[in-house]
Structure 1
């Protein structure tokens, strides 16, 4: 670094003429379901998404008499932190509360108590872990205007507990590294849990496609595809991968399965790669995990498909307990009451922790790899 500074000191700055189509940066995907790829985001993509986010959040947040206070408990290299926290924070002139180690939940809660926070983006696992910290009861949430949940599905039980404690619903949004990131958002005046990721942001189209790329009717599950000014131009040095995810009409195929209703609201079903096929029936981990997470003695959970001689695949559930008194038999009985037979876990494994990305998303891929290796 010192060598670079020394060499640079003797050079003359040449400022290039930049346009909307010039590359702003390469945003690498999380790699939760495969190898990480560099999404090429140009200046137009990034600026468009800032304007889209501002149109959604600005009216609820901006008050001439107060400075906006935002929370950033995500790694700064992650697209959600970069856009929602850093770029939008700069646009709003916000004070940005940086939390470098959100896994220290007690310290995190004590830090929150020092400020009156207005905007709080995060993932479901983060909100869930915070809710289990007694220190959170000391935080004044009267200024919290928007809680944004992204990165993974928001579970109803977590949303209900957060609303009861803070008075702010977790508004679920949806986006990817390839969409700068925001594609859809729940309305900022929404006060109840809907289980949807909301509506497309301005200038954005969302379609639900079948395996042949044809648009499906309302109520039918298919791959979520997005077209708008925030969609990347492609993957860096990967024309093969770019061709695989971009349709001739310019839609980006997300790899997520979703359903759109007649009002245009979209509900995420799950990642296509995470779907479990039990005796010919589709089982989506998000649904199973949402049911299991509602058990009062479950802290966190995840499920994957494992090979099964009779059904092709079977559901295996991994659980972190809130209390050691919870047994697999108790949880099996609970699942029998709450889930259709083919969705019920065949195996349950208790763990002290689940593998996660630095953002806090549970890594089902790592669970599958460990299972295969075993």
Structure 2
């Protein structure tokens, strides 16, 4: 990324730049060879020039001769800016305070104790970290929770390299496995993954995007461990709700609010809706951000007068207090006045045995305003649009059926693995 920094550094106040290379921590000949291959053979590093930069290993060496000078930190000081995923628009910096982050770690620590009532906590916990550490899911659940529990994080540099990923999984007893639906699905389609020993697995945590029922059922059938789905955002440090681990089944919901957390389902006018009615999921609790960095206009749009954060996700709460997400508000498709939620379409189509991955968006239509369009990655190369059309006719209500089906070899995703619907809509 040094070339990206080179393009903008003149417009910033950055004084010091430390540049790390992939082989830096491998040491000696191995590190040198890795860096050479990455730069010269695979050509993964674009040319760059940053005068005055310091190499990572040189910075570490310089640091060993210095004394640590602690800085006084208060609970309401800014811990960091957590940038949103940008799946539906431009990323914004969520201002997370030390109190926000610590609150969420404490909330999760209390919640995770339920899992150890099913399987006892081992002496040495292993976490799988297949998410980038700058993502709030990994930052809180892997890094901070892992440290608090005294766990070891197995860092996976490239989770899209499924064979390499599975090879690493075979080296350790895996106890806690946070991930996304797309990752679980990819692993389930790998022969070597199915040969691994899953007896140590205590928790599979699903987040970041909706976990599809078909994927959850296949995961439990293979591993014996249910996918426990939770929900959160960069703005909520991140976890706001989660299912109980001892439940043992996939509920298809995002579970119950964490301790000290309130969930309200509200309409566009800010009124609370009855149980079972779909509205915007709003969250209040000690983990909710202070606001967006230097964007008071955007902060005002999402923080209500009574302190709730408007998530932008649409959902409903059932009579047990469990919340079900139907989709992102911005992704909703309006067909002749009827709301169609892409998640619902995707879950149905993903159950077709010939489908590997699917994404649904709305496209303009002169008769009904919008109509659904599917983008499909095939599992079965013989799958046709005609076959899928018949399947959708049998499993979806008329106005929810896709008018267009386009096959692709892959779907655009964020670095975390979330499908980028806005890219499919041609919005960048």
Give TM-score scaled by structure 2 length: 0.84
In structure 1, what is the equivalent of residue 3 of structure 2? none
In structure 2, what is the equivalent of residue 245 of structure 1? 302
Separation in 1, partners of 2:67, 2:149:
33
SS at match of 2:425: helix
In structure 2, what is the equivalent of residue 18 of structure 1? 73
In structure 1, what is the equivalent of residue 259 of structure 2? 202
In structure 1, what is the equivalent of residue 193 of structure 2? 136
CA contact (8 A) 2:114 2:244 kept: no
SS at match of 1:226: strand
CA change 1:244–1:189 in 2 (3 A) is same
Separation in 1, partners of 2:100, 2:195:
40
SS at match of 1:40: strand
What is the CA-CA distance between 1:106 and the residue it aligns to? 1.2
Alignment of 1:31-50 (within 5 A): 31-50=86-105
Separation in 2, partners of 1:64, 1:276:
45
Deviates more, 1:1-10 or 1:159-168: 1-10
List runs of 5+ in structure 2 lacking aligned partners.
1-17, 19-51
In structure 1, what is the equivalent of residue 341 of structure 2? 284
Alignment match of 1:327 (pick from 384, 398, 405): 384
The alignment status of 1:54 with 2:109, answered yes or no, reads yes
Alignment of 1:138-153 (within 5 A): 138-153=195-210
What is the CA-CA distance between 1:107 and the residue it aligns to? 1.3
In structure 2, what is the equivalent of residue 116 of structure 1? 173
In structure 1, what is the equivalent of residue 48 of structure 2? none
SS at match of 1:282: strand
CA contact (8 A) 1:60 1:145 kept: yes
In structure 2, what is the equivalent of residue 307 of structure 1? 364
In structure 1, what is the equivalent of residue 13 of structure 2? none
What is the CA-CA distance between 1:109 and the residue it aligns to? 1.3
CA contact (8 A) 2:130 2:179 kept: yes
Alignment of 1:166-205 (within 5 A): 166-205=223-262
Q: Deviations over 1:193-236 (max 9, x none)?
A: 22100000000000001001111110100000000000000000
The alignment status of 1:235 with 2:300, answered yes or no, reads no
SS at match of 2:273: coil
Alignment match of 2:415 (pick from 334, 358, 361): 358
What is the CA-CA distance between 1:339 and the residue it aligns to? 0.0
Separation in 1, partners of 2:96, 2:150:
24
Separation in 1, partners of 2:121, 2:296:
47
Separation in 2, partners of 1:348, 1:38:
36
Alignment match of 2:85 (pick from 27, 30, 51): 30
Please identify runs of 4+ aligned residues in structure 1 that moved more than 4 A. Answer: 2-14, 61-65
Give TM-score scaled by structure 1 length: 0.96
CA contact (8 A) 1:169 1:190 kept: no
The alignment status of 1:69 with 2:69, answered yes or no, reads no
Larger Rg: 2
What is the CA-CA distance between 1:162 and the residue it aligns to? 0.1
In structure 2, what is the equivalent of residue 265 of structure 1? 322
List runs of 5+ in structure 1 lacking aligned partners.
none
Q: Deviations over 1:86-137 (max 9, x none)?
A: 1111111111111010001111112111111110000000000000000012
CA contact (8 A) 2:114 2:246 kept: no
Separation in 1, partners of 2:82, 2:277:
32
Separation in 2, partners of 1:328, 1:65:
49
What is the CA-CA distance between 1:276 and the residue it aligns to? 0.3
**CA RMSD in angstroms, aligned pairs only:** 1.8
In structure 1, what is the equivalent of residue 268 of structure 2? 211
CA contact (8 A) 2:114 2:245 kept: no
What is the CA-CA distance between 1:9 and the residue it aligns to? 9.7
CA change 1:139–1:64 in 2 (3 A) is closer
Count residues with an aligned counterpart.
371
CA change 1:106–1:338 in 2 (3 A) is same
Q: Deviations over 1:42-99 (max 9, x none)?
A: 0100000001111111342495652111100001100001010011111111111110
CA contact (8 A) 1:292 1:335 kept: yes
Separation in 1, partners of 2:388, 2:88:
28
The alignment status of 1:344 with 2:413, answered yes or no, reads no
Separation in 2, partners of 1:57, 1:14:
34
The alignment status of 1:80 with 2:137, answered yes or no, reads yes
